[in-house]
C-alpha cells in the first residue's frame, strides 16, 4: 500500500475528521488497513458493524444493533472519551435515505470533532444526499500496488509450503497488477487446488481472470485482431514514432529514465486508417486491445457515469500493459454539458486527471474525425504524447493501397493501375478498398475476371467523403497548419 495513502488515512484520523467514506468494494482489505492504522496510531480500538452480525470488536456488546443501523451509531455514546475508536460501518450507505439516520449523522459530524472517535463507511459507490455532503470526507482506496501484490503472493506461496523463486514471483506480480486483492486470492486458490503450488503456469489463468472482468463490465470490449503495420500503406512518420514508443515500455527504458508512454491522438477523415492503426499497434506490440465506446460511459442515472468512468479506468489498469482504444472520442464529448447537468464535464475531468497522472502501462489510442468538438483541455500537451493527422493518401500511397487489396484477393493479378490511381485523388484508404470490391462484383456478375476498366468504372460511381465532407477536412488542415500536429505520412504541416 502506498505510504502516501496510509499517511492520508492517519492524518484524517488524527485530525478528528468525523466521517470518512473509503470508496472501494474491498471490505476485508479495508478492515485490515484500519487494524494497521490503529496499531500505528497506538491504543485505538477498531469496531465493525454490519446489518446481519451487528457490532463486532467489543466483548460486552458483541452482536449489538443487529438489523438496527441507527443503534449502531448510538453505540459511540457509550464509549469512554479516553478510548479512541474507529467504527467501520459496512453497507451503511444503503440506509442513509432514512431521515433519522441523516439527522444522526449530521449531529455526529459536530460531536466527533470534540472526541477521538471516527466513523468509517466503506462502499464502492454512493450518491451522497445533499444534506450530508459537507459532513463526509472521501478517501479512494487504490488497487494493490506492486509491493502489496508481491507480499500477498509471497505469503500465499510460503503458506502452501512451496516458496516462489524470485523470477517467477516477479512475473506473477506483474501479471496480477491491477487486480483486486480478492481476485488475486481467488486465482491463487484455484492454482493451489489444481496443483498445490503457485507457478508460471498460472499466468494464463490470471490473464483469463482479467478478460472475464472486462466481459462482466460491458464498458470495454476485448478486441482480438491480427492486423499488422504491413496492412497500413504509408503513414511512415507515425510508424517510426510508434516503434520508438514501443521501446519505451522496456525495463531498460525505465533505467534510462524514460517515463511510460501516455498515448496518441489520431485525427483524420473516415477511412484513413485510424482504427486499423489502433489494431495494428496492439498486435505489433503483443498487448491486449480494449475498445471503449465513450457513449457507454454515459447513463441515465445521476452519478452513474462518473462511477462507470472510474470502473473503466480500473479495468484498463487491470489489463496493463495494454492498448486502450477510445473510438471516436470527438462524438463522446461534443454535447453541451448544460443539457446533461454537467455529467459530460465531470466524466471528462475524471478521464483527464487519470491521463495526466497515470503510472500504469496503459497506452491510449484515441481516434477522432473532427477537431472542433474536442475540448481544449483534452488536446493540450501532457494528455497525449503526440497528435497525428492522417491525411488522404497521396499518389504513391494510393497505388500501394490498391496493390495491397488486389494482392489479398487476386495474388497473381497483372492489372495496370496508373489510370485508376490518377482518377482516385482525394479517395480514402477505405474507399480505395471499396473500389476493388465493387470492380470484382461487376466482373463476377458477368462471369469473367475483372480488369482495369472495372476499377475505373467503380471509381466513377463512388463519391469520396472528401467531397461530401470537404468543409470538415478543410478545418482539419487549417488547424494542423498551426504547428500543433504532425503528419502521419511524414513531417509537420
Domain residue extents for the chain: 3-140, 146-217, 223-389, 395-462
Is residue 352 over pLDDT 60? yes
Measured CA to CA, the distance from residue 415 to residue 19 in angstroms comes to 76
CATH among 1.20.1600.10, 3.40.50.2300, 3.50.50.60, 1.10.8.60 for 395-462: 1.10.8.60
Strand order in the sheet with 322-327: 220-223, 289-293, 322-327, 362-368, 263-267, 386-389, 486-487
| Residue 87 pLDDT | 97
Task: Specify whether domain 146-217 bears CATH 1.10.8.
Answer: yes
Handedness of CA 440, 443, 449, 452 (dihedral sign): negative
CATH number of 223-389: 3.40.50.300
Instruction: Give the C-alpha separation, 476 to 369, whole Å.
Output: 9
The number of CA neighbours under 13 Å toward the Cβ of 330 is: 15
User: Under a CB-based contact definition with an 8 Å cutoff, are residues 270 and 466 in contact?
Assistant: no
pLDDT (0 to 100) of residue 60: 87
Q: At residue 492, does pLDDT exceed 50?
A: no
Kindly tell me if the per-residue pLDDT of 339 is higher than 80: no
What pLDDT score does 81 carry? Answer: 80
Q: What is the pLDDT of residue 493?
A: 43
Q: Are strands 220-223 and 362-368 parallel, antiparallel or unpaired?
A: unpaired
How does pLDDT run across 220-279, given as a tens digit for each residue? Answer: 888 888 888 777 877 888 999 999 999 999 889 989 999 999 999 999 888 888 999 999
**pLDDT at site 178:** 78
8 Å CB contact between 42 and 138: no
Q: Which of 201-215, 294-308, 385-399, 404-418 has the lowest mean pLDDT?
A: 294-308
Q: Which range (87-101, 139-153, 281-295, 298-312) has the least confidence?
A: 298-312
The CATH number that domain 3-140 falls under is: 3.40.50.300
pLDDT at 341 (0 to 100): 65
Do domains 3-140 and 223-389 share one topology? The answer is yes
Cis peptide before 444 (omega within 30 of 0): no
Percentage of the chain exceeding pLDDT 70: 95
Task: Tell me the β-bridge partners of 45.
Answer: 85
What gap in Å lies between CA 481 and CA 469, rounded to an integer? 19
Out of 19-23, 82-86, 153-157, 416-420, least confident range: 416-420
Amino acid at each position: 500500500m502506498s505510504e502516501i495513502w496510509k499517511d492520508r488515512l492517519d492524518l484524517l484520523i488524527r485530525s478528528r475528521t468525523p466521517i470518512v467514506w473509503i470508496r472501494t468494494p474491498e471490505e476485508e482489505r479495508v478492515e485490515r488497513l484500519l487494524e494497521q492504522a490503529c496499531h500505528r496510531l497506538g491504543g485505538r480500538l477498531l469496531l465493525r458493524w454490519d446489518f446481519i452480525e451487528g457490532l463486532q470488536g467489543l466483548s460486552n456488546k458483541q452482536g449489538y444493533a443487529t438489523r438496527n443501523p441507527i443503534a449502531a451509531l448510538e453505540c459511540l455514546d457509550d464509549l469512554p472519551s479516553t478510548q479512541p475508536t474507529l467504527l467501520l460501518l459496512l453497507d451503511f450507505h444503503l440506509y442513509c435515505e432514512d431521515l433519522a439516520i441523516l439527522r444522526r449523522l449530521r449531529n455526529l459530524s459536530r460531536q466527533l470533532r470534540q472526541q477521538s472517535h471516527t466513523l468509517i463507511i466503506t462502499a464502492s459507490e454512493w450518491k451522497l444526499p445533499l444534506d450530508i455532503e459537507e459532513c463526509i470526507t472521501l478517501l479512494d482506496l487504490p488497487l494493490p500496488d506492486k509491493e502489496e501484490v508481491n507480499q500477498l503472493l509471497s505469503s500465499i506461496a510460503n503458506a502452501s509450503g512451496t516458496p516462489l523463486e524470485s523470477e517467477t514471483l516477479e512475473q506473477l506480480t506483474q501479471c496480477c497488477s491491477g487486480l483486486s486483492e480478492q481476485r488475486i486470492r481467488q486465482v491463487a486458490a484455484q492454482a493451489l487446488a489444481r496443483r498445490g503450488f503457485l507457478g508460471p503456469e498460472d499466468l494464463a489463468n490470471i490473464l483469463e481472470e482479467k478478460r472475464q472482468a472486462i466481459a462482466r463490465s460491458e464498458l470495454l470490449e476485448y478486441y482480438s485482431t491480427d492486423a499488422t503495420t504491413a496492412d497500413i500503406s504509408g503513414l511512415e512518420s507515425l510508424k517510426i514514432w510508434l516503434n520508438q514508443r514501443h521501446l519505451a515500455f522496456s525495463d531498460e527504458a525505465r533505467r534510462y529514465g524514460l517515463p511510460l508512454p501516455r498515448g496518441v491522438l489520431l485525427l483524420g477523415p473516415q477511412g484513413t486508417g485510424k482504427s486499423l492503426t489502433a489494431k495494428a499497434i496492439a498486435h505489433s506490440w503483443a498487448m491486449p486491445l480494449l475498445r471503449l465506446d465513450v457513449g457507454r460511459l454515459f447513463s441515465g442515472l445521476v452519478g452513474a457515469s462518473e462511477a462507470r468512468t472510474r470502473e473503466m479506468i480500473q479495468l484498463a489498469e487491470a489489463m496493463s500493459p495494454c492498448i486502450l482504444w477510445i473510438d471516436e472520442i470527438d462524438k463522446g464529448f461534443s454535447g453541451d454539458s448544460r443539457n446533461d447537468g454537467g455529467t459530460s464535464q465531470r466524466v471528462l475531468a475524471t478521464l483527464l486527471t487519470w491521463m495526466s497522472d497515470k503510472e500504469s502501462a496503459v497506452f491510449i489510442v484515441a481516434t477522432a474525425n473532427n477537431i472542433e468538438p474536442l475540448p481544449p483541455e483534452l488536446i493540450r500537451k501532457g494528455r497525449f504524447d503526440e497528435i497525428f493527422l492522417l491525411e488522404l493518401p497521396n499518389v504513391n500511397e494510393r497505388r500501394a493501397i490498391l496493390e495491397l487489396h488486389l494482392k489479398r484477393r487476386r495474388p497473381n493479378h497483372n492489372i495496370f493501375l496508373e489510370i485508376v490511381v490518377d482518377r482516385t485523388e482525394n479517395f480514402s484508404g477505405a474507399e480505395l478498398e471499396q473500389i476493388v470490391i465493387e470492380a470484382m462484383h461487376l466482373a463476377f456478375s458477368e462471369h469473367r475476371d475483372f480488369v482495369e476498366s472495372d476499377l475505373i468504372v467503380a471509381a466513377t460511381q463512388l463519391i469520396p467523403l472528401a467531397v461530401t465532407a470537404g468543409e470538415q477536412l478543410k478545418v482539419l488542415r487549417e488547424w494542423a497548419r498551426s504547428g500543433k500536429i504532425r503528419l502521419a505520412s511524414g513531417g509537420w504541416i
